Amino acid sequence: MKKNLFIHLLPILFFSEICYSYVEIDTKAPDFTLSNSFGEEISLSEFSGKKIIIEWTNHGCPFVAKHYKTGNMQSTQQFSEEINAVWLSIVSSAPGTQGYVTPLEANELTLTRSASPSHVLLDSDGTVGKMYEAKTTPHMYIIDEEGILKYQGAIDDAGGRGFMFKDLLKAKNYIKNGLLELNKGDEITSPITKPYGCSVKYAS
């Protein structure tokens, strides 16, 4: 009986470990190369010397949709532009799943949402998403000029019950605050927060 119970609990224990594991803060951010929505090969390492924001996204996710419909994501992108940071939006949805886009669809979304990422990168096999242990859309990361991971987690503190009724423009924006702290030469106050949103739609 005890053996059978342990076998049944194994998937739960394993799932819990995956859910709460993170890429280590203050370590070198893993390099990668992906095709962008214009068919160009883009590597993380080519942005050395600049701050980088990575956004895992899925346009079909209600959480992502609200961040864009309210202008919260665009406002955060514009803020990053003002400090000369690079913004990489990554789509890790597998073909046939929610949020999967072709390059043309990705460009249409950028245009119709008045978004301004530096690049939209396509990761349909989920390799980079799993490398960074991206769990939700959105799931955000900040990398400093030295290529060191300084933040990972939610875009803001609006997650939880009642999210769909909250004013996102009044929420505490972890990305803006983190960039401001780094610009001042300070460490980010909360380098890890719990991401919220839809699960990343990996192939497996």
Report which listed range, 13-22, 55-64, 152-161, 168-177, is most confident: 55-64
Query: Domain-by-domain residue ranges, the chain?
Result: 33-199
Q: Please name every residue paired with 149 in a beta bridge, in sequence order, or none if there are none.
A: 143
pLDDT at 21: 58
User: Lowest-pLDDT range, 45-54, 106-115, 131-140, 156-165?
Assistant: 156-165
Judge whether residue 142 has pLDDT over 90.
yes
Which residues, in sequence order, are bridge partners of residue 115? none
pLDDT in tens, 5-15: 333 333 333 33
What's the confidence (pLDDT) of residue 164? 85
State yes or no: pLDDT of 65 exceeds 90: yes
What is the pLDDT averaged over residues 132-148? 97
Fold of 33-199: Glutaredoxin (3.40.30)
| Residue 86 in tokens | 């690079």
DSSP characters for 89-109? EEE-PPTTSTT---HHHHHHH
Q: How many CB atoms sit inside 10 A of residue 117's CB?
A: 23
pLDDT at 194 over 70: yes
Residue 130 makes CB contacts below 8 A (sequence gap 6+) with 202
Do the strands 149-153 and 198-199 form a parallel or antiparallel pair, or are they unpaired?
unpaired
| pLDDT score recorded for residue 5 | 34
**Is the confidence at residue 4, as pLDDT, over 50?**
no
Give residue for tokens 């609990």. Answer: 9
CA pair distance 47, 108, nearest whole angstrom: 25
